[in-house]
Structure 1
Amino acid sequence: MTQSATPNSANGAVAVPPVASFRSPEFLLSHIQDTLRFYAPNVLDPSGGFFHFFRDDGSVYDKTTRHLVSSCRYVFNYAMAYRQFGDPRHLEYARHGLRFLRDAHWDAQQEGYDWEIEWRDGKKRTLDATRHCYGLAFLLLAYSHAAMAGIEEAKPMIGATFELMEHRFWDAAAGLYADEASPEWRVSSYRGQNANMHTTEALLAAHEATSHLVYLDRAERVASNITLRQAKLSQGLVWEHFHADWSVDWHYNEEDSSNIFRPWGFQPGHQTEWAKLLLILERYRPLPWLLPRAIELFDAAMAHAWDEDHGGLYYGFGPDGTVCDHDKYFWVQAETFATAALLGRRTGNERFWDWYDEIWRYSWAHFVDHKYGAWYRILTCDNRKYSDEKSPAGKTDYHTMGACYEVLAHALPDGATAAAVSAEQAK
């Protein structure tokens, strides 16, 4: 059955193309390529790294600010693209991005990576040298995926980044990572799950790149401590914020439910993203608790946050179950459709695939820009855009393309993706 939707104000007067099946590898591969094409004309800065700020039409609106998270996510994007499609330009882009991480973001004096810099005429000026575990997690992810793409110089950086995190942020007593430090490495008292979640993602990638069990062991430990031990303190769900002793901080950012990295409230997207990571962990370590816990987290997110009126998942809900942020974020939808597909494949239960289709129908109608490509970042409750700033620092469409790659590699019937790639190459 063809799945179509009526455009609304987010997509303006642009027709929403019909899709025969969102489960088709051809559809997913085409969508990744369309997204890459959005960035392709303007993304590369020959003087170093990539541009980080794009309007809806692909024009760059800030040419000098560079954020560590975007710099890392671009490496992931182009390493994955090279592995999937084999275009040597993507491999060179990944190498180009790696050089920028070491040449621009790295602070040799303090032995840390700068969070935000100004890059002008090939020269760096540090804007924010705060040391974030979240940033190091994405460095570990970038180096791991670059290594899997065959970039030899990335391999030693996997171990070096893990050791830096071990030295500066690992809290052995808690079995979790601290969150941030000053430029001189004075660690703050704030503790958060978000850095630990993305560290788990990166540790799983490091294991895939190296086969070293130290990364898998650590991924299992962090995952169990967040999704089991810590979740028991917060109604069985993953809360975002904690005190230095890892007791729940129910009030951190209570007036800021839309904070980009530290929002208040339960995050539906983080419940489903953790569910995805638990299923990835299960591939390498089939522990009996992983699948049931993944299902619980996914089901809780859908029960609390699906908008029955306008479609899509809300951004956040409070401890009493009341939605605290009604906006729709691109990454929440993307991570959730990936998890739905993985659960559908793992369990054989069609209800998860039904959610996959439903989330895609919504996202295809409202989030995907059918004129210029890629996804809008944030929509209102009733699916209107806030601005024409499609891709500010931190976005890069890493979540959307990554979700498609995950479905292609691990949720579709065996051989389906390979057959689709072969057919495309034969054209």
Structure 2
Amino acid sequence: MDRKRLLETQAWVRGELDRSANFWLEHGMDKEHGGVYTCLDRKGEIYSTDKSVWMQGRCGWIFAFLCHHYGVKQEWLDASRSCLDFMEAHCFNHEAGDRMYFTVTAEGQPLRQRRYYFSEAFCAIANAEYYGITGERSRLERARQCYDLYWDLSRGMPDPVGMGPKTIPETRTGRAFGTPMIILNVTGVLLRTDPERKALYEERAQQCVDDIFKYHVKPELKCTLENVDTDGTPRLYYTEGRTVNPGHDIEGVWFLLEHARRTGDKELVKKAAEMFDWAIAAGWDEEYGGLLYFTDCLGKPPEAYEHDMKLWWPHNEILIASMMLYRDTGEEKYLDWFYKTVDYCKEHFADPEYGEWYGYLRRDGLPTEPSTKGSTFKGPFHMPRSMVLVDKMIEEISARL
């Protein structure tokens, strides 16, 4: 372990975190209507005023999370509250069981409702994290309501929106890895902030872990499948059934490692490490560097046209998972992956001139043009989250040296 290199990397991480937070505070926060704009170009200019409800929750969470780790700054707390208040006023469909919208206008008029329930997930963690800082009981109640609705929908509750499943259920149904993976992460946030329901969250977190390994992790294929049959059987006869999302898998790895640390499950650490090894082997581009967005578990052509692009967030997840695996196993190969990814991110994603990271790169590592720092799907979440967690892990590791 090179302590000097580790601390130099920590200084870079902290600088990137500062630039990211300041970028969104300066360019994204809507001082007129509340909430956050996330469709921002390289310099922070708004190119669409429509608002992503996912991003209202994610932004509300990250600024409260910064307060949790670094102490309350009024501008962080104000940004978090602005997003929470905007969601409360505009992002719930009260005619459909308080399901949340997917996008709204700048003023908060509903634009789009989707069958997916990730808006509820991110609203839950935002309110829970804010409650953990302020003790405002109404925020906890909203966090619980969103979380319980999210859980019930994932377990087969009829959707009040009435859209029905994505495919004709008489023809094909199945399971998606994103469901137990995201619930595990959301449950971990509420475990930390809502101790009154500790037993419930512990039970549900373990259920998510069990589901991941029962249905999605496939040692015989050396991968984690995004989509499987209801009983976990691989469906290798069509493209969606063979899809591997290496970044998703690696994100899931550190969610599992957090659970292993909470429960003292050393065997789970080994299983999560194996998942990381498969994902990085499948996804790392040996020619150009960086992680491919999608791969096919049998090496056939992936269906998604963006499959060979390099997106920002999988690289954030590598940084977290590799450092966490190094912390928990002591294996140098994970530290090597951490530094390899840091080098790629410094060269291709980071923008010292304007701050924040490019969201979308071509396979060769050049940003798509015109380049973007935010979109309906990219806001202040993956990148600052990774910087916070890596900073704190380096603190922990360096203290032992």
TM-score scaled to structure 1, two decimals?
A: 0.82
Given the alignment of the two structures, is residue 399 of structure 1 paired with residue 385 of structure 2, yes or no?
no
Which of the numbers 262, 287, 292 marks the counterpart of 1:284? 262
Q: Tell me the residue number matched to 1:384.
A: 366
Q: Tell me the residue number matched to 1:170.
A: 155
Q: Tell me the residue number matched to 1:61.
A: 47
CA distance in 2, matches of 1:98, 1:394: 18
Does the CA contact (< 8 Å) of 1:129 and 1:182 recur in 2?
A: no
Deviation, structure 1 residue 113: 3.2
Gaps of at least 5 residues in structure 1 are 3-18, 172-177, 255-262, 418-427
Secondary structure in structure 1 of the residue aligned to 2:396: coil
Q: Which moved more, 1:184-193 or 1:377-386?
A: 184-193
Which of the numbers 275, 283, 303 marks the counterpart of 2:281? 303
Q: Tell me the residue number matched to 1:195.
A: 179
Which of the numbers 296, 310, 316 marks the counterpart of 1:328? 310
Secondary structure in structure 2 of the residue aligned to 1:371: coil
Does the CA contact (< 8 Å) of 2:359 and 2:374 recur in 1?
A: yes
**Higher helix fraction (1 or 2):** 2
Q: Where do 1:208-357 residues align within 5 Å?
A: 208-211=192-195, 212-232=198-218, 235-243=221-229, 247-250=233-236, 254=240, 265-321=243-299, 324=302, 325-357=307-339
Given the alignment of the two structures, is residue 136 of structure 1 paired with residue 114 of structure 2, yes or no?
no
Amino acid at match of 1:279: L
Gaps of at least 5 residues in structure 2 are none
CA distance in 1, matches of 2:199, 2:220: 31
Does the CA contact (< 8 Å) of 2:102 and 2:119 recur in 1?
A: no
Given the alignment of the two structures, is residue 110 of structure 1 paired with residue 96 of structure 2, yes or no?
yes
CA distance in 1, matches of 2:269, 2:56: 33
CA distance in 2, matches of 1:252, 1:314: 20
Distance 1:343 1:125, change over 3 A: same
Deviation, structure 1 residue 185: 6.5
Q: Tell me the residue number matched to 1:157.
A: 142
Secondary structure in structure 1 of the residue aligned to 2:223: coil
**CA RMSD for the aligned pairs?**
2.8
Does the CA contact (< 8 Å) of 1:312 and 1:333 recur in 2?
A: yes
Secondary structure in structure 2 of the residue aligned to 1:127: strand
Deviation, structure 1 residue 220: 1.6
Deviation, structure 1 residue 244: 5.3
Does the CA contact (< 8 Å) of 1:340 and 1:355 recur in 2?
A: yes
Secondary structure in structure 2 of the residue aligned to 1:41: helix
Deviation, structure 1 residue 381: 1.3
CA distance in 2, matches of 1:289, 1:321: 30
Does the CA contact (< 8 Å) of 2:131 and 2:140 recur in 1?
A: yes
Q: Give the paired residue count.
A: 383
- Identity, % of aligned pairs? 20
**Higher strand fraction (1 or 2):** 1
Given the alignment of the two structures, is residue 206 of structure 1 paired with residue 190 of structure 2, yes or no?
yes
TM-score scaled to structure 2, two decimals?
A: 0.87
